[in-house]
Structure 1
Amino acid sequence: MLNLPYGISDFYKIRTEGYHYIDRTSCIPLVEAAGMHLVFLRPRRFGKSLWLSTLENYYDVAKAPAFEQLFGDLAIGQNPTPRRNSYFILRWDFSLVSPQGEVEQISQALHAHMNTRIQAFAQTYQAWLNHPITILPENAIASFESLVAAVAGTPQRLYLLIDEYDNFANEVLMSRTRAGSDRYETLLYGEGLLKTVFKAVKGAGSGMGLDRVFTTGVAPIVLSDLSSGYNVAENITMLPDYTTLCGFTQDEVKTLWAQIAEHCGVSAAARDETLELMRTYYNGYRFDPRSSALIYNPTLTFYFLKAFQRDGSPPQNLLDTNLAMDRGKIAYIAALPNSAPVLAAALDEANPPVIDMLAQSFGVADVLDQAKDATFMVSLLYYFGVLTLDGYTEMVQLRFRVPNLVVRSLYAEQLRTRVLPAHEQQTASAAAQALFHRGELQPLCEFIETTYFRALDNRDYRWANELTVKMAFLTLLFNDRLYVVDSEPALERSYADLTLLVRPDLRSSALQDALLEFKYLPLSELRLSSEAAKTTPREELAALPLVQTRLAEATQKAEAYRAILQNVYGASLRLHTYAIVALGFDRLVWVKL
């Protein structure tokens, strides 16, 4: 069995305790050449901390005796740079600093964290230092300056690693409270503490002993507010050389899966199905619009493979609970004014979000101002990892999409929560089960008519169209524990509105597959009032000429998609196919093919 480093970001532990490591050390020379003060952004749990740990172990003068053990068989071990094992390493991790409480409490927590790391630095390098480091409990800036002075008296120089530099700002952003806004402004504005920290870092790099800094984070929220104090940083986030610095490629996952499948005795057909399941749910991130390379989330990949090694089957819940907190990022955007078209576009493959350029920094005014445009919202969703780049449009605008089905499930959950109270969600689940187990659509349609449509705010009617109806079904039917739920899956260069295909590991169950094709008719075109649409028998509505036309259109498309699916899946497919027409936001008419 492979010893998979799920949740482990300690390079030394991975290399000395037999964990599987996918080599990224070939990037070290590129990072050396890139500059002295670098900033690199990626979504949560994407391997940033492991990369910092890799740099720490490679450059640490105290780790020189372990170089061959740690790096000998890796790319950098075969061709090391002259700077290997030549630095003192200081590492700060701002995710460990609580942003809760008053500003004074946050300041104390930050001072305490920095001082703890400075104290550990003094103990690690005491044999190299000619002068002691003075630790001032209430002034970590002064402690840092003392450290830099001690380093300046040696032949070595300092490499500073800063993890999750934007942790404070992210927490404030999510809080949406006046108190949080005040804390953020105090920390960043004027001579605020965080700004002072980075001013000290900049000063230490001016011939005082600090040679290099590598900073990681999720979003460039505080970059503009730090700029006057730290205007020497270079953002390498979207440069082509660093596309695969964090995350796994398709070939790497395929090789890793082949080893596990061999150990677990998985058949050739099942290997392909399982690899496709992983690709559908975990792949799809793109961090350079010019590149065709798609990246897997590494934490989710190891989560899946570790479960498979243990149980001989995929995990029942494909969304790792350690990443489920990302739902808060979508909730934040959903609560903003005018967010409805942005979220709708995120789930609309035919008309995805498009902006002129990605925001490179967000200042305090951007974060706290109530007026946030599409560029702000789409950029944040991208940095948080719930949208990804999909290349350029013909007008050379950036196009985005949801990266994979795990992230799509977060959108579906957010839309469901936004529209329905908890007790109604239980009723919706029961209606969905009728389709899952018996292929019955009526309970779900009746729930959507009587509850879901009624729960939509009046402003949602501005965006009423076929997509709105499809989103209603998608949010109520999305269940990755049972299905590969795909909206607009490509079927021979054409598209079906919504398919629910039983997961490969559950094909032997009694679950039913489903294909749904939608059309939308405004009540104005039917010359019907809302009350008439609600009270007219469904059979009479279905007989109306316009409704018949839309049903025929949906039926024709659904039949074509069904033929393609049956050709692909053969006898294993238990497909129930429906053509559905929504009459405004009041009634649904459907036929089962």
Structure 2
Amino acid sequence: MPDLTKLPLSVTSFRDFAANALIYVDKTDLVADLARFRNPFFLSRPRRFGKSTLVSTFHELFSNGLDKFQELKIVTENLWNDKTYKVVHIDFSQIKENTAARPFETKFYLLLQSAFKAAGFTIAEDKDVIAAFADTIGTEDNGTLVLLIDEYDAPLTAVMGDKKEFEERRALFSEFFSTIKAYSGKFRFIFITGVTRYSNTSIFSAFNNIEDISFDPSYGTLVGYTQEELEHYFKDYLENAVTELNQDLGEDKYTYDSLIAALKLNYDGYSFDRRCRHHVYNPWSILNFLKKPQEGFLPYWLDTGGAKPSLLVNYLNTFIDKK
């Protein structure tokens, strides 16, 4: 039986992959291709598709170089020769919940403070959060910073039904992104992820030079597992699944090929490029299935809320509440 502890369930940190020799689906050729550019990028993908792992990979690459990338494509194919940078990594999903005890602006400030502290900076506490943020990056030399923002939209989606709170958060984000744009020369690379793009909130109109690669065919497989990746990195686990399923059923129902067909039927079919050239599997569903194949083809992504269209649900609820 293959080692089930090597399946990277609930692991998003690139360093954790390396430290624990977990299975890492190597997309560092795409990472290197994207990271060579100096304009800001935005990537939209559903939850549990690997956005946070991707952001963590950028973080490791820009902050520490190639030390942890040995035997990956970015090294074996000699795809990277850049220096290291100060990296500010912000995960807005950490402050999406609304609490009376601590207003959002306070949580926003503390998150920025923590992110900059981790990068070796200190944000002054005697100014408002955006002014302090501007002062901090304003003293840096041009092209010396990297900014990584994961799940930027999580705090907005969480309060979609609260018009006042949503507007307050939207205004803060708009000011924040306007500041980033004003100091864009300070950044070597900016990468932002989210589930959706709030095009009508002025966030991206304030930061209007960002390139949206969400449906760019060149990056259609940047997250998720392709068929080739599935069979290359998880072949032993797929063969084990055939054995486990047949034992559970008490008959030789599944072969390797019929298992692949069943996986395609249940977990494949996602395409994130405008030409539909590429299809990918949902990683969360695949990893859970491979860990417990005897449970069958359960809707793991749906059961954990990954497939729930929170933005649409919250938007519709704003109308239901008015009835």
Scaled to the shorter chain, the TM-score interval is: 0.7 to 0.9
CA gap 1:296/1:137 in 2 versus in 1, 3 angstroms: farther
Equivalent-residue separation in structure 1 for 2:238 and 2:99 (angstroms): 49
Tell me the residue number matched to 1:323. Answer: 304
Cα distance in 2, alignment partners of residues 28 and 194 from structure 1: 27
**Matched ranges for 1:112-123 at <5 A:** 112-122=110-120
Task: Look up the match of 1:81.
Answer: 80
Contact 2:89/2:148 (<8 A) preserved:
yes
CA contact (8 A) 2:238 2:256 kept: yes
Match 2:168 to one of 167, 181, 186: 186
Q: Which amino acid aligns with 1:14?
A: F
Gaps of 5+ in 1: 124-132, 337-367, 371-593
Partner of 1:57: 60
Displacement after TM superposition at 1:292 (Å): 3.2
Among 298, 301, 313, the residue aligned to 1:332:
313
Distance in structure 2 (CA, Å) of the matches to 1:322 and 1:11: 26
Distance 1:228 1:332 in 2: 25
Answer yes or no: is the 8 Å Cα contact 1:38–1:235 preserved in 2: yes
- Local SS of the residue matching 1:214: strand
Which residue number in structure 1 is paired with residue 29 of structure 2? 26
- Rounded to whole Å, the distance in 1 between the matches of 2:187 and 2:136 is 10
Q: SS of the residue aligned with 1:221?
A: coil
Letter in 2 for 1:73: E
* Partner deviation per Cα, 1:411-446 (whole Å, 9 max, x = no partner): xxxxxxxxxxxxxxxxxxxxxxxxxxxxxxxxxxxx
- How far does residue 223 in structure 1 lie from its aligned partner after superposition? 6.3
Q: 1:251 to 1:196 in 2, by over 3 A?
A: same
Conservation of the 8 A alpha-carbon contact between 2:43 and 2:193: yes
- 1:509-520 pair list within 5 angstroms: none
Structure 1 counterpart of 2:300, which letter?
A: L
- Is the partner of 2:54 in helix, strand or coil? helix
How many Å separate the matches in 2 of 1:181 and 1:245?
34
SS at match of 2:124: coil
**Shift of residue 137 of structure 1?**
6.8
Is the Cα–Cα contact under 8 Å of residues 39 and 214 in structure 1 kept in the other structure? yes
Amino acid of the residue matched to residue 305 of structure 1?
A: L
Q: CA deviation at 1:255?
A: 3.0
Partner residue in 2 for 1:105: 103
Distance 1:262 1:31, change over 3 A: same
Name the structure 1 match of 2:282.
297
Q: Distance in 2 between matches of 1:76 and 1:156?
A: 22
For residues 195 and 120 of structure 2, the distance between their equivalents in structure 1, rounded to whole angstroms, comes to 30
Indicate how the Cα distance of structure 1 residues 222 and 322 shifts in structure 2: closer, same or farther if over 3 A, else same: farther
Query: 1:172 Cα deviation (Å)?
Result: 2.6
1:169 Cα deviation after fit: 2.2
* Cα contact 1:134–1:147 (8 A) shared by 2: yes
Query: Normalised by the size of structure 2, how large is the TM-score?
Result: 0.84
The counterpart of 2:270, out of the listed 285, 290, 293, is 285
Please tell me the residue identity of whatever aligns with 1:121: A
Would the aligned equivalents of 2:157 and 2:310 in 1 still touch at CA under 8 Å? no
1:239-288 deviation line (CA, Å, top 9, x unaligned): 11100000011122233442124457838943333322221111100112
One-letter code aligned to 1:227? F
Name the counterpart of 1:162. 149
Q: SS in structure 2 opposite 1:324?
A: coil
Q: Which residue of 2 aligns with 1:143?
A: 132
Return the offset for 1:300.
Answer: 1.1
Q: Deviations over 1:1-39 (max 9, x none)?
A: 240101111011101211001101001232135542110
8 Å Cα contact 2:289-2:297 kept in structure 1: no
Q: Residues 223 and 241 (structure 1 numbering): CA distance in 2 closer, same or farther, change over 3 Å?
A: farther
Aligned to 1:485: none
More strand, by proportion = 1
Given that 1:158 and 1:212 are in contact with CA atoms closer than 8 Å, whether structure 2 keeps it comes out as yes
Q: Using the alignment, how far apart are the partners of 2:159 and 2:199 within structure 1?
A: 11
| 8 Å CA contact retained: 2:50, 2:223 | yes
C-alpha contact 1:23 1:75 (8 A) present in aligned 2: yes
Q: Which residue of 2 aligns with 1:130?
A: none
Shift of 1:80: 3.2
For residues 323-402 of structure 1, what are the structure 2 equivalents within 5 Å? Answer: 323-324=304-305, 326-327=307-308, 329=310, 332=313, 335=316
* Structure 1 residues 108 and 29: CA distance shift in structure 2, 3 A: same
Per the alignment, do residues 325 and 39 of structure 1 end up closer, same or farther by CA in structure 2, a change over 3 Å counting?
closer
The structure that has the greater radius of gyration is: 1
Summarize the Cα distance change of 1:134–1:261 in structure 2 as closer, same or farther, 3 Å threshold. closer
Q: Which runs of 5+ in 2 are unaligned?
A: 247-251
Q: How far apart, in 2, do the equivalents of 1:138 and 1:306 lie?
A: 50
CA contact (8 A) 2:227 2:281 kept: yes
Give distance in 2, aligned partners of 1:319 and 1:236.
27
Task: List aligned pairs for 1:173-572, cutoff 5 A.
Answer: 173=160, 176=161, 180-188=162-170, 192-205=171-184, 207=185, 209-222=186-199, 224-262=201-239, 266=243, 269-308=254-293, 313-315=294-296, 317-320=298-301, 323-324=304-305, 326-327=307-308, 329=310, 332=313, 335=316
- The CA distance in 2 between the partners of 1:147 and 1:335, in whole Å, is 40
Looking at structure 2, the residues matched to 251 and 228 of structure 1 have their Cα atoms a distance apart, in angstroms, of: 38
Query: Percent identity, aligned pairs only?
Result: 23
1:111–1:138 Cα contact (<8 Å) kept = no
For residues 12 and 102 of structure 2, what CA distance do their matches in structure 1 show? 31
Inter-partner Cα distance in structure 2 for 1:334 and 1:113:
27
CA offset digits 1:366-399 (Å, max 9, x no partner): xx799xxxxxxxxxxxxxxxxxxxxxxxxxxxxx
CA contact (8 A) 2:91 2:149 kept: yes
The verdict on how the C-alpha distance between 1:120 and 1:29 changes in structure 2, with shifts beyond 3 A counting, is closer
Q: How far apart, CA to CA, are the structure 2 residues paired with 1:258 and 1:45?
A: 22
Identify if the C-alpha distance between structure 1 residues 274 and 54 changes in structure 2 by more than 3 Å, giving closer, same or farther: same
Identify if the C-alpha distance between structure 1 residues 158 and 34 changes in structure 2 by more than 3 Å, giving closer, same or farther.
Answer: closer
CA-atom RMSD in angstroms: 2.9
Counterpart-to-counterpart distance in 2, 1:234 and 1:316:
37
1:316/1:298 Cα in 2 relative to 1: closer, same or farther (>3 Å)? closer
Amino acid at match of 1:8: V
Residue 331 (structure 1) shift: 7.3
- 158, 163, 166: which is aligned to 1:171? 158
Tell me the number of residue pairs that the alignment of Structure 1 and Structure 2 aligns. Answer: 308
- Distance in structure 2 (CA, Å) of the matches to 1:249 and 1:44: 17
Structure with higher RCO (Cα < 8 A, 6+ apart) = 2
